[in-house]
Amino acid sequence: MTGVTIGTDRAVNALDMNETLESEGTQLDPARELVAGWIDAISTEPIPKGKAIDDLLDLRGLLNGNLALRLEVDRHLRKMPGKRIVDATWWAETTAHLHSLINRYSLA
């Protein structure tokens, strides 16, 4: 009888773990959509630094439950180049990197 209980407990724990992973992936959907929109709107023109900061802070707010992704956004905020404008290449690389990370965490 103990073997059945242990096996059942393991099965319940595995289900809880899968449910947690699925819900985290679903919770990242708004963040993924936001960054995908940035990627679609990228041009060769530099963007105002204030807009880039606001966009990254919006993303950071959507990543409330994922400390690793929030820290990555913080790293990009700290390393953002320019005084008033951000180079389009930096923005394109940053958005692609963040999109890739969000997708990776969604599939984990």
CA distance 62 to 2: 43
For the chain, the domain total comes to 1
Whole-number pLDDT of residue 108: 61
| Domain residue limits at 52 | 2-107
| 19-76 pLDDT per residue, tens | 344 445 568 999 999 999 999 999 999 999 999 999 999 999 999 889 999 999 999 9
**Phi, psi at residue 35, to the nearest 5°?**
-70, -35
User: Could you say which DSSP state residue 44 is in?
Assistant: S
pTM, to two decimals: 0.75
Ranges of beta strands (E only) in the chain are 47-48, 85-86
